[in-house]
Structure 1
Amino acid sequence: MAESGVGACPQVFVVDSQANYVPVPSERKSRWTRAGQKFFLLLVGLTLFGLLVQGCLIYNLYKKLEALALYESPPNFQNLSSPKASAQQGGNIMTQVGHRGSNEIPVQPLPKQVQQRPFAQLLGSSHPAGENNVVQWVHKGGETVIQNMDYNNGRLLVEKEGYYYLYSKVTVNAAMECVLIQHKVMKDTKAYDEPIQLMRSKSFQCKPWKPSSTKASGVEDIWNSFLGGIFHLLSGDEIFVTLEDIQTMRTGTADNFMGAFMIFP
């Protein structure tokens, strides 16, 4: 009986060793899982915040562009749904208020500061030759216009100080003889005793000899010059154009013009 008792011990030992082996869950894995979830939620929150900020910026930009479009839009809109009403307006600038359910486009008037900016456009005269080769211009009627400026004997008179864009074009017939063409835009100012040269175009046109029959045929050799630039002008300044050999100037309102408009007060 002692031998049978000794033989039973290994069985009890084996059972106890198997019962004590219990797998323990890993706490490290659960910690990483919770950290990943928090990081994911943080990314989602940052993404939503970025979309919100982007929406606010786009809205502000839209408002600024809308205000700029209203500022720079042409002042004269016509009623597209009623051509007769548009014709009766005669091109006058009117402020209209759109009503609900109507197809009329409300007209936004230009800001007062823009409406009062000086500008002028002069056209070529049939008698352009003036004293000291100063070109004379047509300053009334047709496509000519003068606002907050004045004109006297070929000269534009500046009334308001500011930066102006000045431009001038002349057309010359250089077919008959050799001519030195000097097209200048000049300024008379109270600060100096003599005129100041603002812009100049210089060209020597000399054609080869032609038989008398060719001259009699009235063939023209047209040459033109255009000058344009931005200058600071004072109140009381006078702007004018000179042309050497002004007798060769080809007359016509489409071939010759001069103008100025303020771009910054």
Structure 2
Amino acid sequence: MSGSGMAFPAVFKMGSEVKAFQRKERLKNLLVILALCGVFIEGCLIYHLWMRGPEQVNNINQQAEKMTQEKSEMQVMQAQLNRKKPAAHVTGCKSSTNEDGKLCWEPLDGDAFTHDISYKNGSLVIKHKGHYFIYSKIFYGETVCTEKVLFNHAIMRLTQMFDGSLELMKSKRYHCKNPNEDGLANSFLGGVYHLLEGDQIFVKVEQNQLILLQSSSENYFGAFLI
């Protein structure tokens, strides 16, 4: 072989193979680095989640306890709603045949009702002892008169502990009409009293001819256990 005209194909071939090998190595190294980065990131995420684990568990436990407490409160409220207390509301009114002014009422129709309290001849009969809110409203008209006369509205109690009736509440007002007014008036009584089983409460009105009977919302009487 002459020194001036000789070609070196083997050398060029080997050089191209070396370059290809180097590219492959660089690509392999890059893939390894990417894989290591992925492992590192995944490890960081796992560590982060593991560190937050107890906090999340505590939060879940707190939420579960709160839900349980709310459920218990709802059950208590529902039980209270389902357990109806003694109550009665009688409406309208009319004078009884007696001359003592005791009023009789409508215990069933319209808004009237009785639950665990009996109605008997104008009286509400208590079946369970306890503190009761008792109330009564009377709507009446005033008249022109030459002398002042009182309109008396009272709630009375009959009990085995005492003879006769006891006055629990009373309202007094002169019923003479004022020329500057329309001549209409309301009397309302309300209060809390401790009643015993078998006690009777009723409404007594003097000058009951003045009572105006217009609707069940104008005249009523009731009680409920508190």
Is the TM value for this pair above 0.5?
yes
Q: Look up the equivalent residue of 1:169 and give its one-letter code.
A: K
- Indicate whether 1:236 and 2:206 are aligned: no
1:194 aligns with 2:164: yes
Which residue of 1 is the match for residue 41 of structure 2?
A: none
TM-superposed CA distance for 1:125, in Å, is: 2.9
Alignment of 1:59 with 2:67, yes or no, is yes
Structure 1 residue 167 displacement after superposition? 1.3
Displacement of 1:128: 5.8
Deviations 1:173-219 (A, max 9, x none): 01333431222111011111132222222223433469xxxxxxxx9
Bigger mean CA offset, 145-154 vs 226-235: 145-154
Report the CA distance shift for 1:168/1:129 in structure 2 as closer, same or farther (over 3 A): farther
- RMSD of the TM alignment (CA)? 3.1
Q: Give the percent of matched residue pairs that are identical in Structure 1 and Structure 2.
A: 30
Deviations 1:40-78 (A, max 9, x none): xxxx999779857754653343223322443356xxxxx
Structure 1, unaligned stretches of length 5 or more? Answer: 1-43, 74-109, 211-218
- The 5-angstrom pairing of residues 254-265 of structure 1 reads 254-263=217-226
Give the alignment partner of residue 185 of structure 2, picking from 220, 223, 227: 223
Q: Aligned letter for 2:209?
A: Q
Distance 1:198 1:71, change over 3 A: same
C-alpha contact 1:171 1:250 (8 A) present in aligned 2: yes
- Superposed counterparts of 1:108-123, under 5 Å: 110=82, 114-115=83-84, 117-123=85-91
Taking a change above 3 Å as real, the CA distance of residues 235 and 70 of structure 1, as seen in their structure-2 partners, is: closer
Output the amino acid matched with 1:186. Answer: M
Bigger RCO (CA 8 Å, 6+ sep):
2
Report the CA distance shift for 1:157/1:61 in structure 2 as closer, same or farther (over 3 A). Answer: same
Residue by residue over 1:93-146, the C-alpha shift from the partner in whole angstroms, topping out at 9 and shown as x without a partner, is xxxxxxxxxxxxxxxxx2xxx24x432211113556743111121224333222
SS in 2 for 1:131: coil
Matched with 1:85 is none
Partners of 2:79 and 2:209 in 1: how far apart?
A: 46
Evaluate the alpha carbon distance shift between residue 49 and residue 202 of structure 1 in structure 2; reply closer, same or farther with a 3 A threshold: farther
Please tell me whether the aligned partners of residues 95 and 208 of structure 2 are also in contact (alpha carbons under 8 angstroms): no
CA distance in structure 2 between the partners assigned to 1:169 and 1:208 by the alignment = 22
Q: Compare CA radii of gyration and give the structure with the larger one.
A: 2
| Counterpart Cα distance in 1 of 2:115 and 2:80 | 19
The alignment of Structure 1 onto Structure 2 pairs a total of residues equal to: 173
Structure 1 runs (4+) deviating above 4 angstroms are 44-54, 126-130
2:182 and 2:96 map into 1 onto residues whose CA distance is: 19
Are the equivalent residues in 1 in contact too, given 2:95–2:102 (CA < 8 A)?
no
Q: d(CA) in 2 for partners of 1:231 and 1:169? A: 17
Contact 2:102 2:204 in 1 (8 A): yes
